Amino acid sequence: MAFTPLKEKYRNKVAQITLGATADQGGTRTSTVTIGGEEALPFLHFEGTIANKPVVALEVWDIAPTEWNSCFDQYYGDVYNDTAAWAKKCVEEYGAEVICLRFKGADPDLGDKSPEDCVATLKAVLGAVGVPLIVLGCGKYEKDNALFPAIAEAGEGENLLLGVGEQENYKTLTAAALGYKHAIIAQSPIDINIAKQLNILIGEMNFDTSRIVMDPTIASLGYGIEYGYSIMQRARFGALTGDKAMANPMIGNVGFEAWRAKEANASQEDFPGWGDQETRGIMWEATTATALISAGLGIAVLRHPKTVALVKKSIDALMVPSAY
Amino acid sequence: MLIIGERINGMFKDIANAIRTGDPTAVQMWAKKQEKNGAGWLDINTGPASDDPVKHMKWLVEVTQEVSDVPLALDSTNYDAIEAGLEICKIPPLINSVPAEWPKMERVFEMAQKYNAGVIGLAMNEKGIPKDAESRVALAMELCACADGYGISMEDLYIDPLLLPVNVGQDHGPEVLETLRQIKTLSDPAPKTTIGLSNISQGTKKRELINRICAVMLIAAGLDTAVGDACDDELMEAIATARLIMNLDIYCDSFVQVYKNRW
């Protein structure tokens, strides 16, 4: 009896977004990355074109992160106080395809760095690495709204991915990105309805909605990963079946979430049954990333260098075409 | 459910006048207006006044396509007129319609296959419109079998169980709802469904109210498309809402706008 593979036919595809710009495109990046463009569910190559592979970013802060696990010291300890050198190390030694620069030090409670300071750091990082940049604020609305226009202007031509815009605070970011031609992250609190509405609100400001990357706010393994996972699946299925307001690539702060888990950080002395702490932490992060990548994540923002290698390996395996 | 906008029909005076005078203004105005309000297709019907349906179908298709990219539904019992329209449609249209009668099905499904068009199949035959759901479903099955014979995908077949005005054919209502449910069990993938929505309120009072409530009930029974008034805002709002409740669209606060803009 002949075998006929069942192939779903979809009406729509995910928007394709390129981050970064090379010299001939008006920027200074030496490489760009393109995400999105999927015509089928994650890695179902036999049903449609999976135009671009998911990419991994490493997180870099503008201040030394005091709360990070001490296992990171051996990788980043010497560069914690030099953001540009930190970024360079992430790219050259650890294989980050994108740098996610987080202006944690702009937080009024953590140093209150001025927009000018942040612009100087951004320029130093742009000078140190050639990969595209994701640039995030500190998470406090008032401060971020002072930062976004300055960062957008300083990064003009670089085609940054700026974030984050939320339902209660997206206008300044959107206007800044619109003016200086950057892409933006639209973040929703594990709520697909808000995710959709936010995309619409941003579109109503005449921002090209195909330049939005959705951050559905994921949680880590063991702490509610299944909520983000199922929302991402539903968003992707909506996108493919014609819901244009959901047809965007997705980003997840995997490192940030995974390294909040007790299981990633607790020492072996305290929990002998859990085994070696660092290996466990890496696996916690890598498992979170690979699970969400199989739900449609386009950019995994990671922390541990060894996670990068593991996740890249599984992405490469998943990108092997499975055509019938 | 998506609405097949019913307004470009020679039965309406302004369209009949446009056909008579060759002035496309009214046709194009309704095309744009229906598109703007969320119509998924635009029905094109030369109406009873046309003395040359082939020529007038072509003209209506041409002038409509000049201003709108919404796919068309070629609405005529004159298959030469439909074929004339099929030849010049830029986007594969729907053929509206064919009953479950053999020579007609053969002609229409052959055309549909040739032009990659969808087909609206009526659950009726030479004997008229059946009263009970079982007889309607039996005719739907004949349409499926014949379409399949011509290589038409079930997803391109839109079965219309035929709605009668609620004031004269009141007992048909529950039968139509039951037919819609059963059609979805006929094949996998199931055929699509459609209906002449405005028929339900022919000759009644409060036509818009009846149309809206009927649309919502039919969506709950699985209706995919309906020929109706895309310019009735409250009808479109009711449909957008019913789609949410049936979990066909992901909720967001702007759900009516999203439905109308065909986001």
Nearest to A238 among B250, B253, B257 (CB): B250
- Check CB contact under 8 Å for A193 and B249: no
In chain B, positions 73-102, which contact chain A (CB-CB < 8 Å)?
none
Q: Cβ contact (<8 Å) for B252 and A235?
A: no
CB contact under 8 A, A243 and B250: yes
A197/B254 CB distance under 8 A: yes
pLDDT tens for each residue of B50-99: 999 999 999 999 999 999 999 999 999 999 999 999 999 999 999 999 99
Question: From the candidates A191, A197, A230, which should be mutated to test the interface with B, based on the most B CB atoms within 10 A?
Answer: A197
- Neighboring chain A residues of B251 at a CB cutoff of 8 Å: 193, 196
ipTM confidence: 0.88
Segment A243-255, tens digit of pLDDT: 999 999 999 999 9
Residues in chain B with CB shorter than 8 Å from the CB of A4 are none
Chain A residues lying within 8 Å of B253, measured CB to CB: 193, 197
* Distance to chain B for A175, nearest Cα, Å: 21
- Chain B interface test: which of A12, A200, A204, A244 (most B C-beta within 10 Å): A200
At CA B101, angle to CA B97 and CA B106, rounded to 5? Answer: 75
Q: pLDDT tens digits for B45-62?
A: 999 889 999 999 999 999
Angstrom distance (rounded) from CA B77 to CA B82: 8
B173 to chain A, closest Cα gap in Å: 31
pLDDT, one tens digit per residue, over A275-308 is 999 999 999 999 999 999 999 999 999 999 999 9
Tens digits of per-residue pLDDT, B130-174? 999 999 999 999 999 999 999 999 999 999 999 999 999 999 999
Considering only the beta carbons, identify the residue of A234, A244, A245 that sits closest to B252: A245
Query: Contact at 8 Å (CB) between A259 and A29?
Result: no
Contact A243 B257 (CB under 8 A): no
Report B:226-255 residues touching A (Cβ under 8 A): 249-254
pLDDT of residue B263: 58
Q: With a cut of 70, list the residues of chain A below it in pLDDT.
A: none
pTM of the model: 0.92
pLDDT digits (tens, 9 = 90+) for A52-83: 999 999 999 999 999 999 999 999 999 999 99
Contact B250 A192 (CB under 8 A): yes
* CB-based contact, B167 to chain A, within 8 Å: no
| Chain A residue with the nearest C-alpha to that of B263 | A244
Closest chain A C-alpha to B261 CA, distance in angstroms? 10
